Amino acid sequence: MALPSALDALRALVDRLALVGIVSGRPVDFLRAHTDIDGLALVGQYGLERLVDGRIAFDPGAEPYVGPVNEVATAAAERWPRLVIERKGSIAVALHWRTVPDAAPPIDEVSELASRHGLSLLPGRMVVELRPPVTIDKGTAVEALLGGEGITHAAFAGDDVGDLAAFDALDRLVANGALDTAVRVGVRSEESPAELLSRADAIVDGPAGLVAALAALAP
């Protein structure tokens, strides 16, 4: 659930900035249900989904994998019954063991399951996602959002390994002259990857720290 103060800050920023968006591993339906802010750009499943004119648009490269994703979700639930199996729409599935740390599945077995169904792996904090092997991540999603908008200054905040791709994207956009400046914000927690924090231009402490930073941009 989003903090109410976070939603207030985002609403204020949407009125002030050229583009405000959420790029998440969650499905767009989830993001829309928990934000409901007009003008807020929503990108889900690391870029496989995007909200366009009120409708969810899927990357066409992901559609052939709807069947394999369903088969993998069923097989994972049978093989690792203690895990939380999160079906992320019809084009990805995540295996969570945060609530049962001792039940973490052997990564080589997860990799074999994914490979057998033609899927790729995306690891996170006590979770691994199996998804279509398309070259889309939070970095390509950020580049797609910023492309053609005439934006010259941008920032991205993240707290997990999947957010490193977005940091990379900002670096590329600055290097090729598409952006004048970019700020990489690391959201610190006990589980924050060391690499993410080491690469951040600014660090905030947890969700509350990020909300305070957002609110400061829209007084």
Quick: pLDDT tens for 98-149.
999 999 999 999 999 999 999 999 888 899 999 999 888 999 999 999 987 7
The tokens of 156 are what? 């991205």
38-74 pLDDT tens trace? 999 999 988 988 999 889 888 888 889 989 999 999 9
Cβ distance 211 to 3 under 8 Å?
yes
What does 146-201 look like in DSSP terms, one character per residue? HTTTT--EEEEEE-SGGGHHHHHHHHHHHHTTS-SEEEEEEEE-TT--HHHHHH-S
Residue at 116: amino acid letter: R
Tell me the domains of the chain and their CATH numbers: 4-59+136-217 (3.40.50.1000), 63-131 (3.30.70.1020)
Q: Does residue 170 contact residue 182 with C-beta atoms inside 8 Å?
A: yes
Query: What is the bridge-based pairing of β-strands 127-131 and 181-188?
Result: unpaired
Block residue for tokens 């049978």: 78
Q: What tens digit of pLDDT does each residue of 180-197 get?
A: 999 999 999 988 899 999
Q: Are 169 and 142 in contact (CB under 8 A)?
A: yes
pTM for this structure? 0.80
DSSP state of 17: S
DSSP 102: G
Query: Alpha-carbon distance 75 to 79, whole Å?
Result: 6
